[in-house]
Structure 1
């Protein structure tokens, strides 16, 4: 029986040792990096503005998540009724911003210096803008240290929906290692994570058993 336990512990430890190392390294990285800085919150400026809604003329059926936004000095309304909708105060649908407008938004609402912008229409698995509504305007900017920062702007609302830096990319890589989802890096309900978590538990239990059995002998 003892031999079976030793062999089980040895081979389980061999298979899970690398993943345990990745869990440890990624956990240390998470502990020493503030999530607010990873998300680029330090680059955002306060978004206070005056909104005059006295002349608002708008009816939206089955609306949820209604927001009042400032888009380059224009007050607009954002709502969702199964899809995202954007209106001016007269109830008219608004058009997309131009790429040059997104440069202005980054300049006005962040401490970053915008350089160039482009439109993104297609989603990519594991992309740094995953989970955001398309299309997006990607603005390449620089911080005070001349580090390239990607800023993603919703071209309808003018909202900055994501700020991505090398720090975020490192965090994202570590997160993929941590949850064992190396492709999409979003699925914490994957089979690999469940199996290796159980194996790590079994390895720990067999290690404790071996410790006490060796003391008796």
Structure 2
């Protein structure tokens, strides 16, 4: 019985050793990096503005959630409802997308970063750092005080900061892919490979504990 358990532990440990190492390394990285800093929250500036709701003089049908955004001193309504998402001004008309120079100005206003260039992204790619965000989206290439390049992603209608992506975030994203064993999209935590290796790791741990106590008992005898 002991020989059987030892062999199971030996070969299972060899099979999953690399993934166990990746789990450990990624776990250490997660533990030593605050998620707030990974998300770039230290670069964000909280906007403050006054809103005069007396200017509103129209009805919004089917609204479920309404937010007010200040876009270059213009109030924008972000309306989520049964018809999807709408971006309206205080007259009830659809707003146009912000221009490149406005994107630069809004990025500088909402972050402590220095904007350098702007490009419009219209197509999604697998595993992109702006995944999960609605397209099109502006990418404002910026730098911090240390001269490090950081991307700021802005909503094309409101100018809101949708995401801040630095090298710290990219390493985190890579480690997350290793951790959940989804190296392509780095999003699927319900994949079959992760479940299989988790079970194998559990079996390896249990057999290791059994071997430890068996050896310990024999030594005492």
- Interval of TM-score (by shorter of Structure 1 and Structure 2): over 0.9
Give the structure-1-normalised TM-score: 0.97
Aligned ranges for residues 2-17 of structure 1 at < 5 Å?
2-17=2-17
Query: Matched residues in 1 for 2:204 and 2:128: separation?
Result: 35
For 1:116, the equivalent position in structure 2 comes to 117
How far is the alpha carbon of 1:57 from its aligned partner? 2.5
Aligned ranges for residues 1-217 of structure 1 at < 5 Å?
1-81=1-81, 82-217=83-218
How far is the alpha carbon of 1:84 from its aligned partner? 1.8
Give the structure-2-normalised TM-score: 0.95
C-alpha distance after superposition, 1:103-129 (max 9, x if no partner)? 000111111110110100001110000
How far is the alpha carbon of 1:152 from its aligned partner? 0.4
SS of the aligned residue for 1:131 comes to coil
How far is the alpha carbon of 1:65 from its aligned partner? 2.8
How far is the alpha carbon of 1:60 from its aligned partner? 2.6
**What is the root-mean-square deviation in Å for CA atoms of aligned residues?**
1.0
How far is the alpha carbon of 1:19 from its aligned partner? 0.9
Query: Matched residues in 1 for 2:48 and 2:98: separation?
Result: 21
Q: Which sections of structure 2, spanning at least 5 residues, go unmatched? A: none
How far is the alpha carbon of 1:48 from its aligned partner? 1.0
Q: Which moved more, 1:149-158 or 1:60-69?
A: 60-69
Query: Matched residues in 2 for 1:8 and 1:142: separation?
Result: 52
C-alpha distance after superposition, 1:44-103 (max 9, x if no partner)? 112111111102123333222311110111011001125221000010110101111100
How many residue pairs align between the two structures? Answer: 217
Query: Matched residues in 1 for 2:98 and 2:78: separation?
Result: 15
Query: Matched residues in 1 for 2:149 and 2:59: separation?
Result: 42
Query: Matched residues in 2 for 1:20 and 1:198: separation?
Result: 12
SS of the aligned residue for 2:193 comes to helix
